[in-house]
Amino acid sequence: MSEKVDLLSVGEPSGGEERRSRETQDLERCRPLKVFHELHSETITECSQIPNTNRMVTVSWDKMMVSTDLETGQTLWRRKQAGLLTSCSSSSDGRLLVCASDPQNCVSICEAASGQTLHLLTDHHRSTITRCRFDPRTQRVVTVSADRGIKLWDLLAQKTTVSINSNHGNVVSNCCFTSSGYFLCTASWDKSLKLWDLQTGGFRSQGGTTLQRGHEGIVSSCCFSADATLLVSGSYDSTVALWDTCSSSRTLGPEGHSDWVTDVSITADRKLVASASKDTSVRLWNIDKEIPEVMKSRRTDGLQTCEECTKSLPPSRLQTSETPTRCFSCRPVLSSTNRPQPPPLM
């Protein structure tokens, strides 16, 4: 979701009446500010607003990546890629773009200004790449795939530095970073989500923390709040779920969509959640009042709490002297000299 709450970039769901457009919505007046027609000749799979600019990029099954000026509607450039494009993302500084293509399982890292390819990673996964994202510091690109793997490609070293077998029971459909970049969430067709501690490398010994019993269908999307205390997920069971990341527990489950929830987002102030659905609607959920009450009641359930902020901590699987006593929002940042090195490639 845009930092400005009154702007939201949305697309129509796939189907026979898809108009292959992207609309910028004025949430107060509930009307399109601009409609961008005929950007592509096939289904648009993802769009990304480029930070610090008035531009967006869209990718499609027509193999084209297109940059558009949001004010004038002018197409700034069009670049043809190797295959059907499944995902795209822009770096936090607005300088770089990444896109994934199928069936070659390629990742292209490009200049945002021109679309020129800087790095082309061929056969990056064994199967379709479902999502690609830059970390918040524009140091790494994460990709997740139908092969159930997670890979982090280092922009400085220009190689894959972390490769993880997610142990998801099915396709990994989506992923997102916390604003610090130290934690990653993955969503899967196996109806679960997993949290990965990239800061300490805890996943090497304990794997990811599984969030389950939140959905009864494929989990399609996930998004952290700016302070990383909440996680929002959407599912093909037509529901949205909100999770307390400290206790790894579901706090709310807004219902109202009549078909697949395909994407979710949350405002920086944690007051509004947006969800897009195959039922042709985008819904805004006001969680400003509900979340504090839910969190207050959950602090009385006997769970261990963070020594800094008193929020609930998840039960640890390994009760040792290394067991954290602070939630990950309150843990100190490791210096580069003390930060664990990534494991060898698998």
The confidence score (pLDDT) of residue 11 equals 42
Kindly state the percentage of the chain with pLDDT values over 70.
Answer: 75
102-157 pLDDT per residue, tens: 999 999 999 999 999 999 999 999 999 999 999 999 999 999 999 999 999 999 99
Q: Based on the number of CB atoms within 10 Å of its own CB, is 34 exposed (0-12), middle (13-18) or buried (19 or more)?
A: middle
Q: What is the mean pLDDT of residues 158-178?
A: 96
In a domain, 108, yes or no: yes
The reported pLDDT for the residue numbered 201 is 87
Instruction: Specify if 206 maps to a domain.
Output: yes
Q: Which of 58-67, 172-181, 299-308 is least confident? A: 299-308
Judge whether 316 lies within some domain.
Answer: no
65 pLDDT more than 90: yes
The answer on pLDDT for 339 being more than 80 is no
The tokens for 38 are 């005929």
pLDDT, one tens digit per residue, over 180-205 is 999 999 999 999 999 999 998 888 88
pLDDT for res 203: 87
> Cβ distance 194 to 202 under 8 Å?
no
The pLDDT, as a whole number, for residue 295 is 54
Cα distance between residue 47 and residue 9, in whole Å: 8
Confidence of residue 17 (pLDDT cuts 50, 70, 90): very low
pLDDT at 10: 45
> Could you tell me the pLDDT band of residue 271, with boundaries at 50, 70 and 90?
very high
Q: Is the pLDDT of residue 336 over 50?
A: no
Number of domains observed in the structure of the chain: 1
Single-letter amino acid, residue 313:
L
Residue 320 lies in a domain: no
Higher pLDDT pick, 289 / 131: 131
Identify the CATH number of the domain in which residue 23 sits.
2.130.10.10
| Residue scoring higher pLDDT (219 or 10) | 219
Give, in degrees to the nearest 5, the angle at Cα 303 between 301 and 304: 150
CA distance 267 to 256: 20
Six-digit token string for 149: 């793997």
State the pLDDT confidence band at 334, using cuts at 50, 70 and 90: very low
Highest mean pLDDT among 25-39, 273-287, 319-333: 273-287
**298: helix, strand or coil:** helix
- Judged against a pLDDT cut of 90, whether residue 67 lies above it is answered with yes
Could you tell me which residue, 5 or 256, shows the higher pLDDT? 256
Q: Which pLDDT score is estimated for 14? A: 43
283 forms beta bridges with: 275
Question: What is the rounded distance in angstroms from the CA atom of residue 314 to the CA atom of residue 248?
Answer: 6
Mean pLDDT over the full length of the chain: 84
Share of residues in the chain with pLDDT > 90 (%) = 67
- Within a domain: 321: no
Q: Residue 226: is its pLDDT beyond 60?
A: yes
Residue 273 pLDDT: 95
Structural domain range at position 176: 7-298
CB-based contacts of 158: which residues, under 8 Å, 6+ apart?
A: 119
Q: Which residue is it, tokens 């800061």?
A: 199
User: Is the predicted pLDDT of residue 23 greater than 60, yes or no?
Assistant: no
Asked if residue 345 has pLDDT above 50, the reply is: no
